């Protein structure tokens, strides 16, 4: 496994050279200190579980700058939602979002396209509007699921970092 590029050598990498000057001035982007790592883990998982296909990397790139997070970690967390895991993640987002909306007193009608007995052979272009109705519950569910998992992972990271620094008892 190749190590991460050093800030002083980042200008040698093809894509990374475009922001090498900016990365040299902002050491937190490559820092593995606890503060930057916890921020990257928490915010990276929130974005990873939201239905933002295609723009996740761009969003976390700017989040890393605004919230002073570790850039390689926050970007790598976006690979959690890959083509193999998108279906289960977004279905869980939708179900959690629907349950939360019902909890808040908003009773949205379940989308017929997401029922197990829906015949996708009869899907038409006008049904895309019905798919857009799933976006608010998916965003709410993704925010809740990502926040919960981000909190769990951030706390686990802090605990493991503290535990690994303690001297061994004989």
Q: Is residue 66 a contact partner of residue 73, using CB atoms and an 8 Å limit?
A: no
What pLDDT score was predicted for residue 11? 61
> Global pTM?
0.79
Signed CA dihedral, 42, 4, 78, 29: sign only: positive
pLDDT tens by residue, 9-23? 666 666 666 665 666
In tens, the pLDDT along 44-95 reads: 999 999 999 889 999 999 999 899 999 889 999 999 988 899 989 999 999 9
Highest mean pLDDT among 8-12, 28-32, 37-41, 107-111: 37-41
109 backbone dihedrals φ, ψ, rounded to 5°: -80, 130
């Amino acid at each position: 496994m190749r190590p991460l590029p050093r800030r002083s050598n980042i200008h040698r990498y093809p894509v990374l050279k475009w922001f090498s000057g900016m990365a040299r001035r902002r050491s937190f982007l490559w820092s593995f200190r606890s503060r930057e790592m916890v921020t990257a883990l928490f915010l990276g998982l929130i974005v990873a579980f939201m239905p933002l296909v295609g723009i996740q990397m761009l969003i976390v790139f700017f989040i890393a700058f605004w919230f002073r997070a570790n850039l390689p970690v926050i970007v790598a967390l976006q690979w959690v939602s890959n083509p193999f895991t998108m279906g289960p993640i977004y279905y869980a987002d939708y179900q959690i979002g629907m349950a939360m909306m019902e909890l808040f007193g908003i009773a949205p009608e379940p989308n017929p396209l997401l029922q197990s007995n829906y015949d996708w052979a009869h899907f038409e272009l006008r049904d895309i509007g019905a798919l857009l109705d799933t976006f608010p519950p998916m965003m709410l569910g993704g925010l809740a699921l990502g926040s919960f998992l981000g909190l769990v992972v951030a706390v686990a990271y802090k605990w493991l970092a503290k535990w690994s620094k303690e001297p061994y008892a004989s």
